[in-house]
Amino acid sequence: MRFENTLDFARRLDADDTLKDFRSKFYFPIIHGKEAIYFTGNSLGLQPKTTQDYVLNELEDWASFGVEGHFHARQPWLSYHELFPNLLTKIVGGLPEEIVVMNQLTVNLHLLMATFYQPTKQRYKIICEAKAFPSDQYAFESQARFHGFNPDETVIEVGPRTGEHIIRTADILSAIKQHAHELALVIFSGVNYYNGQVFDMKNICKAAHEAGAYCGFDLAHATGNIELHLHDWDVDFACWCSYKYLNSGPGGVAGAFIHQKHIGNKDLKRLAGWWGYEKATRFQMEKGFKPIATAEGWQLSNAPVLSMAAHKASLDIFEDAGMKNLVVKGQMLSDYLFFIIEELNRTSKEKFIEVITPQDAKGCQLSMLMLKKGKEVFEALKQNGVIADWREPIVIRVAPVPLYNSFEDIYHFGRIITQVINQ
Ligand SMILES: *Cc1c(COP(=O)(O)O)cnc(C)c1O
């Protein structure tokens, strides 16, 4: 499609957008008396207007039933977590039995590494991306130490080549080959939080398996954003949070995926809790852990129903909108944003924004390296009711998301920046 940098054109795209009505299902922060242009759905998604009712229902049932709510609540709490796998299958591309909603993201990362990172003297290395999200870096480092290995020799980071911003797939695959004999685990994000690069999960996973290693993904910035096929890609495990693109509230309950080929394997080591115990006999409270033969077998604790209620409110909206439709619109939004930024560069005297997100491997987020006037641009955006985010040293991350952002949002974003440049 040929884009145009005009308000009319942006409005025409919005008029043709089959998802346009979903915008009214969310609350927007108010800035200077007006709804903000919210571009940080990659950091904390907006609140659906239905969330309060979903949470309130559980508070009411708690008030009405006390402990009996485990059985008599409108959605009995004993099985509340069972509502989620069917809602998440299309979002992550997994079978229902491969998916479980539990804990929080970094907790799940550690739990899954407890199973899938079993280093030996021969095979102990972890390959990951350079500049992984800090929590992940600390998880990898501490897991290495936990098993008695020196993180400096254990955690192998693959980074961009000098002068480049994205990590080449070929470099990842060759690092996996190079370390194959000592490799225990390959773990990447699905979408890098800083530059927005989407990794080639299918081929990374294939290379990891050829090297005799397990492969896992942290999908914090991928879930609810890009197309995922965890089952078909043969991914061993994955985890994600629900408060970014999944709009389930600050610190919301997280998710995990464990491939079908592993879920029935009772010999896999794991850290266990009572909620992972076989359901039929769980309440006999006997000694000797017997895991559920699905991803639920990795659960530790009973369900945090209040945060799960918020998660359910949001996933019901995803179900209505359809993940496929969301991916298509998300790509179009970020393509339009790409175009607008190119236009800004073209019409100013010199290039002042470098988009470091690869155009052919991106989700909703674009990361703009500000070659000039970075802070001024960021300040002007803020003053004009645009919420984006600043990452040191000079990157502005912008994520128009398909459920509640419009093409007009992007047009205004470009217009505000133009004013700063022309000053
Ligand atoms: C957002 C994010 C986290 C945050 O972890 P929490 O445990 O949810 O606080 C971790 N890893 C990645 C890759 C993230 O993007």
**Tens digits of residue pLDDT in 150-166:** 999 999 999 999 999 99
Q: Which atom of ligand 1 is nearest to the CA of 218?
A: 13
Which atom of ligand 1 lies closest to the CA of 241?
A: 8
The alpha carbon of 15 and the centre of ligand 1 are apart by a number of angstroms equal to: 35
How far apart are the CA of 40 and the centre of ligand 1, in A?
15
Q: Report, as an integer, the average pLDDT of 65-80.
A: 97
What's the mean pLDDT when you consider all of the chain? Answer: 97
Q: Is the CB of 128 under 6 A from ligand 1?
A: no
Pull the structure tokens for residue 123: 């095979």
- Can you give the pLDDT at residue 89? 98
Q: 111, 197, 241: which to mutate for ligand 1, most atoms within 8 A of CB?
A: 241
Does residue 221 have its Cβ closer than 6 Å to ligand 1? Answer: yes
Euclidean distance between CA atoms 348 and 337, whole angstroms: 17
So what's the pLDDT on residue 394?
A: 94
Closest CA to ligand 1's atom 8: 105
Question: Over 90: is that where the pLDDT of 283 sits?
Answer: no
By most ligand atoms within 8 Å of CB, the mutation choice from 40, 106, 109, 391 for ligand 1 is: 106
Q: Which atom of ligand 1 is nearest to the CA of 243?
A: 8
Per-residue pLDDT at 1 exceeds 90: no
Question: Nearest-CA neighbor of 126 among 206, 53, 208, 207?
Answer: 208
- Whether 212 has a pLDDT exceeding 90, the answer reads yes
pLDDT digits (tens, 9 = 90+) for 291-301: 999 999 999 99
Q: Look at residue 228 in the predicted model and tell me its pLDDT.
A: 98
How far is ligand 1, taken at its centre, from the CA of residue 242, in Å?
10
Q: How confident is the model at residue 423 (pLDDT cuts 50, 70, 90)?
A: confident
Confidence of residue 421 (pLDDT cuts 50, 70, 90): confident
Answer yes or no: are the C-beta atoms of 330 and 402 closer than 8 Å: yes
pLDDT band at 102 (very low <50, low <70, confident <90, very high): very high
- CATH 3.90.1150.10 domain span(s) along the chain: 7-47+323-421
CATH assignment of 54-321, among 3.40.50.2000, 3.40.640.10, 2.40.70.10, 3.90.650.10: 3.40.640.10
Give me ligand 1 centre to Cα 338, in Å: 26
* Integer-rounded Cα radius of gyration of the chain: 22
* Fold of the CATH domain 7-47+323-421: Aspartate Aminotransferase, domain 1 (3.90.1150)
Share of the chain above pLDDT 70, in %: 100
pLDDT band at 285 (very low <50, low <70, confident <90, very high): confident
Does the CB atom of residue 307 touch ligand 1 within 6 A?
no
CATH 3.40.640.10 in the chain, residue ranges? 54-321
Question: Which residues, 6 or more positions from 118, have their beta carbon under 8 angstroms from its beta carbon?
Answer: 184, 269
* Average confidence (pLDDT) over 19-46: 97
Query: Any alpha helices (H) in 66-149, and if so which ranges?
Result: 69-72, 85-92, 105-116, 134-146
Cα dist from 311 to 204, 255, 306, 315, whole Å: 30, 11, 9, 6
